Structure 1
Amino acid sequence: MASATAGDAAEDFDIGRIDEVIHGRVRLGIMAYLSGVGTADFNELKTRLQATDGNLSVHLRKLEEAGFVEVTKSFQGRKPLTRATMTEAGRDAFVAYLDAMSGLVGAR
């Protein structure tokens, strides 16, 4: 019976299920943070993730291109304000990512 369990676990171990767009450390941090707060401004994300302006911009763009995050730019008074919001597709992808990671850990 133990060998059947080990065989099942090996079959469940599929690294290909990990979404490469989300998997990067900063992108994963963005998705995790947005999953809790919904929307965050650029400076809030930069502080929480300890990222540089350029680094955060690149990762937000990648998530936006995948349709996982919507980025809006406006002005608050005379200051530019960039806000990121997780989309429904992003929420679905994040849940699928977490499920895939859980499957990898549980497959051991």
Structure 2
Amino acid sequence: MNNTEKIRLQNDALRLGMVRNGLFHVTSGIADQGAGFVMRARQQVAAYNNFTLDNDPYGEHDFGAFELDGQKLFFKIDYYDLETRAGSPDPADPDVTCRVLTVMLASEY
């Protein structure tokens, strides 16, 4: 398995809430919509499967866009070291990487 495949599998696992070194964040614009909206956004991120060459040119499943309650949302996955102080030295290696998934309103991007 190459590094892109490893990263993609780990990113998919993060979106489903099944990764050991991962965080799920929402921006203030998402949080301001209320707990129900946050829960539905998280469900949409987990179910998201509309990856194309336009939004996923590297095949890592690290970005997506969707609509919820008439609002455009984005999610993005970034790769940090385990202390989340710097970038990961190897995003394909879960032993040295903390994945951070952020959900935001498109207007906040």
Output the TM-score relative to the length of structure 2. 0.26
Output the TM-score relative to the length of structure 1. 0.26
Structure with a larger share of its residues in strand: 2
Structure with a larger share of its residues in helix: 1
Larger radius of gyration between Structure 1 and Structure 2 = 1
